[in-house]
């Protein structure tokens, strides 16, 4: 049988190298041009930063360094520290552990901090994906620096770091290191809204040591920063989350950068409450699919990872355009699992996932059009999930001979 690494031989030709290397080079150059443009704009206008998502992280970090972490929950104060001129609702609503993580970036000028943050995310994702690239540098570059990463890099968001933590945890599980996997999963609670399906996967495969390690890590990441910032941080955060949630729900059909099925249904004219209920129904179906796949003896490791990566964004009601970055690594695992192949339709799906919302993000930068984000993402993500699920249902219920990579996931309590 063809091994997962052998399936990557589809890229072992000149065009495969060009796709990986030149695509990554183009992504890096585009981001460099945008950040250099920000440096020029800041110098010409005597601003402190520009209005991209990263200014929230940077301004909150600067406030924490000044001993004023609770001021981060004041949107006007964030704008004042960042020196932005656009009056947009862009709040800070993150756990204290994430604020502590961001503090070193507050020591740098805005553009340098933005570049360093993007580099940290890309570097972490490269390291996490390395065990799954089959020793092929061009495949690694294609997955970690795909055009699908552009929406995240263009605004300086956290998705690449989150993906790196998740894929690093998957690599640790495959290698039979459940405690390390749990530590990495615990770190993902710094942005918890994407982690709804992770406990489902861990319970399904009986990864009890990973669950324990994740629980302890999450507790430490809550307790240690609380000692630094004070217990008053949590009520402020919860109040901001509630207020932000009310604003989002009130405008859900008009938030063009939100790409969840919930927002897409609301944009079609469904009542908000019905769209929200249908989203939670879809979330429940995603959880069931993940549980069945991670429990199924015949499902290989890469198929489990592929289905998890396609299900996570579909399960989240709160999903923005930069989180479409999940598509590129999901395509890599789908190829390794045999879900994607050299057939034209399959290749077209893989290329579409590799591109993701990158081309649309560039259009947004140039002309400000954001209308096509969710119309493109939701059908593409559903198609990828359906392809994975079809492959799951085709797998035999019993495997023979045993697969050591899967046995590593079936831990004893």
Question: Which residues, listed in sequence order, are joined to residue 320 by a DSSP beta bridge?
Answer: 258
Report which of 159, 193, 151 is spatially closest to residue 374, judged by C-alpha positions.
151
Is the pLDDT at 214 greater than 90? The verdict is yes
Is the pLDDT at 82 greater than 70? The verdict is yes
- For range 44-67, the mean pLDDT: 90
Is the pLDDT at 161 greater than 80? The verdict is yes
Report which of 182, 201, 161, 192 is spatially closest to residue 322, judged by C-alpha positions.
161
CA dist 174 and 408 (Å) reads 6
Tokens 């709804």: give the residue. 196
The 10 Å Cβ neighbour count of residue 360 is 22
Q: Cα–Cα distances in Å, from 185 out to 164, 218, 324, 409?
A: 10, 8, 20, 15
Which of helix, strand or coil describes residue 151? helix
Burial string for 44-83 (b: 16+ CB within 10 Å, else e) reads eeebbbbbbbbbbbbbbbbbbeeeebbbbbbbebbbebbb
Q: What confidence score (pLDDT) does residue 365 get?
A: 64
Confidence of residue 299 (pLDDT cuts 50, 70, 90): confident
Confidence of residue 64 (pLDDT cuts 50, 70, 90): very high
**Out of 32-46, 105-119, 129-143, least confident range:** 32-46
Report which of 390, 384, 262 is spatially closest to residue 326, judged by C-alpha positions.
384
Confidence of residue 402 (pLDDT cuts 50, 70, 90): very low
CA dist 169 and 173 (Å) reads 6
Over the stretch 364-399, which tens digit does the pLDDT of each residue have?
Answer: 666 555 566 778 899 999 999 999 999 998 876 544
Positive/negative CA dihedral, 265, 269, 271, 274: negative
Confidence of residue 403 (pLDDT cuts 50, 70, 90): very low
Contact 313, 323 (CB under 8 A): yes
Over the stretch 319-355, which tens digit does the pLDDT of each residue have?
Answer: 999 999 999 999 999 999 999 988 999 999 999 999 9
**Out of 16-20, 215-219, 351-355, 371-375, least confident range:** 371-375
Q: What confidence score (pLDDT) does residue 194 get?
A: 92
Q: Cα–Cα distances in Å, from 9 out to 25, 42, 146, 156, 183?
A: 22, 46, 18, 33, 33
The crossing angle, in degrees rounded to 10, of helices 110-129 and 137-144 is 130
Is the pLDDT at 413 greater than 60? The verdict is no
CA dist 10 and 6 (Å) reads 8
Contact 156, 53 (CB under 8 A): yes
Q: Dihedral angle at the C-alpha atoms of 345, 379, 141, 300, nearest 10 degrees? A: -70
Positive/negative CA dihedral, 320, 150, 117, 173: positive
More confident residue, 106 or 44: 106
DSSP letters spanning 36-101: HHHHHHHHHHT-S--SSTHHHHHHHHHHHHTT-GGGGG-HHHHHHHHT------------HHHHHH
Which burial class, exposed, middle or buried, applies to 129 when counting CB atoms under 10 A from its CB (0-12, 13-18, 19+)? buried
Q: Cα–Cα distances in Å, from 35 out to 82, 156, 216, 335?
A: 16, 10, 38, 33
The separation between CA 11 and the C-alpha centre of its own chain, rounded to angstroms, equals: 25
**Out of 124-128, 192-196, 310-314, 335-339, least confident range:** 192-196
Q: What confidence score (pLDDT) does residue 233 get?
A: 96
Question: Which residues, listed in sequence order, are joined to residue 258 by a DSSP beta bridge?
Answer: 320
The 10 Å Cβ neighbour count of residue 244 is 17
Mean pLDDT rounded to a whole number for the chain: 90
Q: What confidence score (pLDDT) does residue 408 get?
A: 53
- For range 129-138, the mean pLDDT: 94
Q: What confidence score (pLDDT) does residue 12 get?
A: 87
Q: Where are the domains of the chain?
A: 12-149+157-395
Confidence of residue 405 (pLDDT cuts 50, 70, 90): very low
Q: What confidence score (pLDDT) does residue 397 get?
A: 57
DSSP state of 195: -
Confidence of residue 134 (pLDDT cuts 50, 70, 90): very high
**Out of 134-148, 157-171, 243-257, least confident range:** 243-257
CA angle, corner 302, sides to 300 and 304, nearest 5?
70
Contact 324, 151 (CB under 8 A): yes
């Amino acid at each position: 049988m063809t091994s997962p690494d052998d399936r990557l031989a589809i890229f072992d030709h000149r065009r495969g190298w060009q796709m990986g290397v030149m695509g990554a080079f183009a992504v890096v150059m585009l981001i460099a041009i945008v950040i250099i443009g920000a440096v020029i704009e800041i110098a010409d206008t005597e601003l402190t930063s520009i209005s991209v998502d990263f200014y929230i992280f940077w301004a909150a970090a600067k406030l924490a360094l000044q001993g004023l972490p609770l001021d981060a929950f004041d949107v006007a104060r964030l704008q004042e520290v960042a020196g932005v001129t656009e009056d947009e609702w862009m709040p800070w609503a993150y756990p204290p552990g994430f604020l502590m993580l961001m503090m070193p970036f507050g020591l740098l000028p805005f553009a340098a901090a933005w570049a360093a943050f993007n580099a940290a995310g890309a570097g972490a994702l490269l390291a996490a994906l390395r065990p799954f690239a089959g020793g092929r540098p061009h495949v690694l570059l294609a997955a970690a620096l795909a055009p699908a990463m552009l929406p995240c890099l263009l605004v300086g968001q956290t998705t690449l770091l989150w993906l790196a933590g998740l894929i690093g945890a998957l690599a640790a599980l495959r290698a039979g290191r459940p405690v390390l996997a749990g530590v990495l999963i615990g770190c993902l609670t710094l942005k918890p809204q994407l982690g709804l399906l992770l406990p489902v996967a861990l319970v399904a495969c009986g990864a009890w040591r990973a669950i324990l390690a994740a629980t302890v890590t999450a507790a430490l990441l809550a307790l240690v920063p609380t000692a630094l910032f004070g217990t008053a941080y949590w009520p402020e955060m919860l109040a901001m989350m509630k207020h932000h949630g009310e604003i989002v729900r009130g405008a859900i059909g008009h938030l063009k950068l939100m790409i969840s099925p919930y927002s897409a249904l609301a944009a079609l004219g469904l009542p908000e409450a019905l769209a929200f209920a249908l989203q939670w129904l879809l979330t429940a179906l995603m959880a069931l699919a993940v549980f069945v796949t991670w429990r199924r003896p015949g499902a290989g490791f890469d198929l489990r990872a592929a289905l998890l990566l396609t299900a996570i964004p579909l399960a989240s009601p709160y999903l923005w355009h930069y989180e479409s970055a999940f598509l590129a690594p999901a395509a890599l695992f789908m190829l390794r699992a045999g879900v994607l192949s050299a057939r034209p339709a399959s290749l077209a799906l893989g290329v579409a996932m590799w591109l993701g919302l990158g081309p649309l993000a560039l259009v947004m930068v140039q002309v400000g059009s954001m209308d096509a984000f969710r119309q493109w993402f939701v059908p593409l993500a559903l198609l990828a999930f359906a392809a994975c699920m079809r492959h799951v249902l085709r797998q035999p219920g019993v495997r023979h001979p045993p697969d050591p990579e899967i046995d590593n996931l079936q831990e004893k309590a």
